[in-house]
Amino acid sequence: EPEVTQTPSHQVTQMGQEVILRCVPISNHLYFYWYRQILGQKVEFLVSFYNNEISEKSEIFDDQFSVERPDGSNFTLKIRSTKLEDSAMYFCASSVREQGAYNSPLHFGNGTRLTVT
Amino acid sequence: AQSVTQLDSHVSVSEGTPVLLRCNYSSSYSPSLFWYVQHPNKGLQLLLKYTSAATLVKGINGFEAEFKKSETSFHLTKPSAHMSDAAEYFCVVSDITGRRALTFGSGTRLQVQP
């Protein structure tokens, strides 16, 4: 069964550094997402992306965050200047139709654990 | 606004006994409901989804959930627990007509004792 793949599985970075998290969504999916889970907290929505633009974003997704689909297969999340509170597990997901639609579950990757020191 | 409450943070059962993980939701519109499972160091795997075609939904690995609109519940059950079921389970709600982003519950950690 096709999978969403994320790299790296672990990333350690220093505060203030830029970090790029990478994802390869399932090939026939059209919608792409980033969610994150701070240790001990709920999984939270960050952003959704469709047709090369952001379709929805949360209040967490401020100017420090950006997303890009640089080619036909990759989907990236960039954090410009990392803070300690950005430490979390970041999940990429993709779906055939928009999230919330019946019969359109999200398929998640295994996540990238980001540690900001 | 939509929300999800998972009533138990931890559930412990013996292998071979039934599993019940409770979930109540709040949604202004007709919700989409899902259960996801997360095994240690793994991603979020879809267990089952509510599609409005049937209130009793069957998923993978013998799990099922019943949508009860009158009780705003979507509890997850399995007749007989297996050791491999030990994981974190998330009830998730979304709404195509409202805020579409998935809203996750806080999770229930299922322990299965031999």
Predicted confidence at residue B7, as pLDDT, reads 94
Mean pLDDT of A4-32: 95
More confident residue, A19 or A72: A19
The per-residue pLDDT of chain A, averaged, comes to 92
Predicted confidence at residue B58, as pLDDT, reads 93
Chain B: give the shortest CA distance to residue A76, in Å.
17
Mean pLDDT of A77-94: 96
Chain A: give the shortest CA distance to residue B20, in Å.
21
- Which of B72, B71, B52, B83 has its CA nearest to residue B3? B72
**In chain B, which residue's Cα lies nearest the Cα of A57?**
B101
Of B41, B44, B101, nearest to A108 by CB-CB distance is B44
- Split at pLDDT 50, 70, 90, the class of B64 is very high
* CA end-to-end span of chain A: 37
Judge whether residue B99 has pLDDT over 90.
no
A100 part of contact set with chain B, CB < 8 Å: yes
Q: How many CA atoms lie within 13 A of B66 on its CB side?
A: 6
From chain B residues 94-113, the ones with a CB under 8 A of any chain A CB are 94-98, 100-107
Tell me how far apart the alpha carbons of residues B68 and A38 are, in angstroms, rounded to a whole number: 31
CA angle B79, B42, B55 (to 5 degrees): 35
- Which of A106, A82, A108 has its CA nearest to residue A11? A82
Please indicate whether, in this complex, the C-beta atoms of A42 and B107 are within 8 angstroms of each other.
Answer: yes
Chain A: give the shortest CA distance to residue B13, in Å.
23
More confident residue, A95 or B51: A95
A65 part of contact set with chain B, CB < 8 Å: no
Q: What are B66-94's pLDDT values in tens digits?
A: 999 899 999 999 999 999 999 999 999 88
Predicted confidence at residue A12, as pLDDT, reads 97
Chain A: give the shortest CA distance to residue B1, in Å.
14
Q: What are B3-50's pLDDT values in tens digits?
A: 899 999 999 999 999 999 999 998 767 788 899 999 987 889 999 988
A72 part of contact set with chain B, CB < 8 Å: no
Predicted confidence at residue A102, as pLDDT, reads 59
